[in-house]
Structure formats: C-alpha cells, structure tokens
Structure 1
Amino acid sequence: MTLKTDVAIIGAGPVGLFAIFECGMVGLRCHVFDALDVAGGQCSALYPEKPIYDIPGFPRISGAELVERLETQAAPFNPVFHLGQRVDQLQRLADGGFRLVTSKGLTLEAGAVIIAAGAGAFGPNRPPLPGIESYEGKAVHYYVRRAEDFRGKRVVIAGGGDSAVDWALALHGIAAHIHFVHRRDQFRAAPDSVAKLGQLNGRGIDIVVPFQLAALEGDGTSLDAVVVTSLDGENRRLEADALLAFFGLKSDLGPIANWGMELALHHLPVDPATCQTSQSGVFAIGDVATYPGKLKLILTGFAEAAAAAHAIYPLLHDGQPLHFEYSTSKGAPGLAAD
C-alpha cells in the first residue's frame, strides 16, 4: 500500500518537529521519517538532560524537555511518524510530486519534501571490542537518555571529549562508582569541566590514564568487567555494570547525496528566502542546509521551517498565494490561549 500526504519531512529532530507545526498552520499534512527509533534527533540521543540556553523564551531547557514541548506543539496537526527507518529512495513523479521508499519497504507519495536531517544519518564510532554488539543497548551505551538509568551501577566511561567528561560529572553521585578511561592524560573537553573531573578523582571517580579499552567480560548481555590496557601492555580489570563509550559520531548524508541535488561539503545549498534546494519541491532546513551567513543554531532552523512551509503552500495549491496571518490572530488547533 502506498501512503499519501502533502509534505514528507525527513528528520525528526527539533527543526523537523517544528516544521510539522509550521506546515500544519498553513493546512499541510505531514509524515515524518527518522533513522533513529525516537523523535528528537541529537537532542534525544546525545544530550537529553543537558541544558540548552539559546532557545527563545527559555533561559534554560533540557534537550528532552525541548523535544517534548515541540511534540506537544505539533500534536494537534496529527503528524504520522515513521521512526527507525531511513528514506532510501526519492523519485520524482509525473505530477511533480515525489515517491519515497524507506529501508523497511514503506512507500509514501508527497507533494513536497522537507529534509531536516541535521548532519545526516549518524551513529557512534564503535570501539573494536570482540562481541561488543551483543551488549549494546543493555550494558554498552553510546548515548545517555536518562541519568537515573545508571543509579547505583558501576560505570566505566571511555573517551576524552566533552560528552565523556560531562557525563562523568553528571553521573557522579548517581552511579555507585565511575572509572574514567582515556588513552592519554590530556583531554579535549572544556578546561573547566576537566578541572572539575580532576577534583573528583578518588572521590567516586577514578581516572584511569593512559589506558584504552581491550575487552569485555560478561555473559553477552550483562557485564561483569571491562579490561583496559596501557601502551606498555599493562592490563587492568575494572568491575563494571555498564560501559559508556564516547568516541564521537560518524555521520553522512547517506542516500540523500544521490538524489540529484547540488551538494557543498556534505550540505545542501538552499535559497535562504524559501529554503528550496536545487531541486524544485525539495527543501532543506536546519544543519543540513547551507547558504551565505548561515548560523548553525536550532533557532535558525525554526525560522527556516517557517520559510519552507510558506513556500510549499503555493506549490501545492496551483500557485495560489498564501494569505499570511499571525498566530496571535489565527490561533492554533488544540493549543488553548492563556
């Protein structure tokens, strides 16, 4: 069965979620796709509990709360989500619309497409440890969604960047004990955070340097210990219930790069007035979009979502111009005025 909608949104991060709202405000129905199995993009996968300070109207808001509020704002427009699947094919139809086919075989036809894919599909750089795949999602994690999931656990954190150091500080006092493993005694994280980590060394956190991951001990699901080794061949066995491996992300545009649009250093150049790509009917917003003076901020992506929605309306209504109304006068379905 082929599904049909007005707009297909590729990417369910904050900017993609806000695009649902902006499309809904001009009467456009949306289906939303994301390779991750949860909405929220990197906000959900990488920093759900870390504060964000540059969202208008919120002096401080966590990634998870921002995603929740955006979902609430979009919900009255009844978006249909297709999570945990990548859009592999984008084909132009005779009527000017598009057919999308996903990695799970789902087929959708849409009048226009908004690509809000951030830096593209992303995934963790997995440490080369034998048998690590069987532990992933149970005892080995590349993202932290809730600090409380590690309460009372013995945790090994590996890495030397901001994610590793920040989560070591955040889990201090929650985890029973933390071993912090890095292959050298210099860190790439913010100096203030590194200083705080050093102050906690021996006080719930043991810094293990210069060592690197060597092996996992356990039954393939539950972890007993992480074995680390130094450059001199010294081995240490760190008792652990969980391994948090923060070695960065690998990302690429994947199939998007083969859809016939102009590319610029893994980004999609767009008209800043409409956010349309070099292919008519395909728009790009958020970090994946580029134009002179572009600022890679969530709030910039929000403005781009509005521009794209307003540009799509006449495309799907035979050139009929959109009668612009402010939300203060028009209101929004399902969102009661205070």
Structure 2
Amino acid sequence: MTEQLQLYDVTIIGGGPAGMYAAFYSGMRDLKTKLIDANEKLGGRMLIYPEKMIWDVGGVTPVLCEKLITQLEQQAQTFEPTIFLGQQIRDLEKQDDGTYLLETVTGEKHWTRTVILAIGRGILKMAKLELEGAERYEVSNLHYTVQELEPFRGKRVLISGGGNSAVDWANELEPIAEHVTVVHRRDQFGGHEKNIAKMNDSSVDVRTPYEVSQLYSSNGEMIDRVTLTHLETGVSEQLAVDAVIVNHGLKSDFSGIKDWGLSMDDWNVYVNAKLESNLPGVFAAGDFAYYDSKLNLIAGAFTDAALAVNSAKLYMDPEAPRMAYVSSHNERFKEKNKALGVVEE
C-alpha cells in the first residue's frame, strides 16, 4: 500500500439520500468517512426530478426535491467527510489485512476498512429516442428530463412515455402549457393511480397505443412536427409541437460491481437484517439493498443507512455500542449546538 493513500473506516459509494445520510450518521459514530459518487453532483436519482414535490419524508413538510437535495447535502457535510465526485468505482480487492482497495474506471484508488454500497439503480442514463437524427435536437427542444417548468409555458408539448415521470410531467405542465399530448405504447400507464386519474380527467390529450415514429424540422434545428403511429392499426398522423419530452425509462450501469462476487439479482444486492452483504465488511443501503421487509421510500433509505453504518462500526469494533446516542444526548453535537446559540442545561 502506498504511503500517501489514507485508510478510511467507511467508504460510501453513492451520493443519493442513502449515501448522504450514511455520511452524516457515520460522523455520529465518529468514523473516518469518505463518500464517492460517479456524478458531478450529489443527489443520486433525485437529480432527475428536481421540480417534483416530496411529501413522504417524516417531519418535513412538502418540499421541492431540489431543496431536499440541498438540505441532505448540508447534513451530510456536518462532520466533514471526504467527498469525491465524478469518480466511478469499478474494482474491489480485499487486502491481506482484511481492508479493501477500491479502484475507479480512471485509475484512482481508495483504501478502506468497510464499504457501504448506496448506489441505487447504478449509474442511470436516460433511454434515448431511437429515431435517426434525434440526437441533433437534444440541444434545442428534445428533452429527456424536466429541470424547470417555466420554459414550457404556452408551448405545445408532446410527452412520450408511460411511467411515473411522464404522468407527473403531464400533470405539472397541463396548467401552463398551451396543450399537452401524451403518447404511450401500451394502454396501461405505470404511474401512481391517483396521478393517472388526474391526468385522464384533465385537458391532457392521452393517445394509446401510439409511438413517435418520425421527427420533422423546417429549419433543421428544432422539431416542429412529429408523426404518431397507432401500433395496432398502423395508421399515422402528424402533430405540430414546440417541445418533445421523452421518458422511456432508464438504463443502468453498475460498472464492475456485479463482478465482485456479491449475492444479487439484476438490480439489488441481497442483505440481511443488519444490511450485511455476503462479502465481509461490505454493506448496502437504499434502493440497491434488498431484504424481506424493505421499504422503498426515501425515509426507508435513511433507516438503511443508519443500520449499515452501525453494522460497519461493530464489524470494526465488536465491543462498540450497538448504535449512536440520539442527537439530543450525543457529545458530537455539543459544540455544534453552541454555535447555533443553543444553551443546554
């Protein structure tokens, strides 16, 4: 091991809600902590829908996803963990002393006693519209995510897709766009029932089973018409548009993590009640972790993160307390409370 390579107690791979909360809670356990994420920003999958309202985090009133990311990031940095962004982990090599050496696809190395995998669904990439020449419009009016609603005000918007995001975008854009059309290859939508009902009862023009079969541009720079084709009859029609939003799902890249010998299926690593994987010293949290009583909510990711950190602590020190003291009694918060002007009895 090279001398300049520092040994960390916990290295968290993934910067979504599970990873960020794990970084915070690891500080509560007084562990030397590192967080690594392949993206250039923290937030994980939440970065896809910054304009959505999040309602189901305990004790938090409805909050824009973008704001929740900011708050989670601030909390994650409470105990000043080392954070590396833009690094994609590929290899894991167990050392003779039981520690692990992690290596990125570009050759950076990280040395750690334990690993917490909080990688969600892996490195997510939007499934692209598979039509010739579609990529040329990505710089103008072909979109794969909605970062802001305002640019679509007064526009004729076509949404292609049938998942949660497509339905949500249709409902959010319907009040401000001139017209919203949704096309989906199947008659059934995959979103939440309440949101689908809201879309169907609104002015949104829902077309099923249809697909976008051709794009047209009068100036070669922006899409101004599309061809929609009925998948059962083969009948086509043209539709004038100002913007096209595509939500055909996500493609996932787990890099080399699937080659580590983890017990997993296509999407998840199997863990026990302590969030332990089948590899000693390797734990998981959030969407990537699967166990029988799994709760697939952001709130559940927080619990996963704390359990994984506690298990990592006990893995390194079996005599350590089973969990951190609550914040109201935790010594690590005394000075921080003073900085906030809180006088403790």
Q: 1:21 to 1:130 in 2, by over 3 A?
A: same
Q: Partner residue of 1:121?
A: 123
CA distance in 1, matches of 2:80, 2:194: 44
Q: 1:89 to 1:291 in 2, by over 3 A?
A: same
Query: Which stretch of structure 1 is more off in the superposition, 111-120 or 262-271?
Result: 262-271
Query: Which stretch of structure 1 is more off in the superposition, 212-221 or 66-75?
Result: 212-221
Query: When the two structures are aligned, how many residues end up with a matched partner?
Result: 332
TM alignment of 1:192-271, pairs within 5 A: 192-201=194-203, 205-218=204-217, 222-231=222-231, 232-251=233-252, 253-264=254-265, 266-271=267-272
Q: 1:319 to 1:57 in 2, by over 3 A?
A: same
Q: Partner residue of 1:50?
A: 52
In the TM superposition, residue 181 of structure 1 has moved relative to its aligned partner by 2.2
CA distance in 2, matches of 1:41, 1:220: 34
CA distance in 2, matches of 1:116, 1:222: 39
- Local SS of the residue matching 1:66: helix
Q: 1:44 to 1:234 in 2, by over 3 A?
A: same
CA contact (8 A) 1:252 1:266 kept: no
- Local SS of the residue matching 2:125: strand
In the TM superposition, residue 210 of structure 1 has moved relative to its aligned partner by 4.4
Q: Per-residue displacement from partner, 1:268-305 (whole Å, max 9, x unpaired)?
A: 222313x2211111111112222333333322221221
Match of 1:214, as an amino acid?
A: S
RMSD of equivalent CA atoms: 3.0
Q: 1:93 to 1:328 in 2, by over 3 A?
A: same
Q: Partner residue of 1:17?
A: 20
Q: Per-residue displacement from partner, 1:111-141 (whole Å, max 9, x unpaired)?
A: 2211011233333332311123343465333
CA distance in 1, matches of 2:221, 2:28: 47
In the TM superposition, residue 247 of structure 1 has moved relative to its aligned partner by 1.9
- Local SS of the residue matching 1:90: strand
Question: Percent of aligned pairs with the same residue?
Answer: 37
Structure 2 gap segments, 5+ residues each: none
Q: 1:74 to 1:230 in 2, by over 3 A?
A: same
Match of 1:305, as an amino acid?
A: A
- Local SS of the residue matching 1:112: strand
TM-score (norm 1): 0.84
- Local SS of the residue matching 1:304: helix
Q: Per-residue displacement from partner, 1:157-178 (whole Å, max 9, x unpaired)?
A: 0123332122111012333432
CA contact (8 A) 2:156 2:243 kept: yes
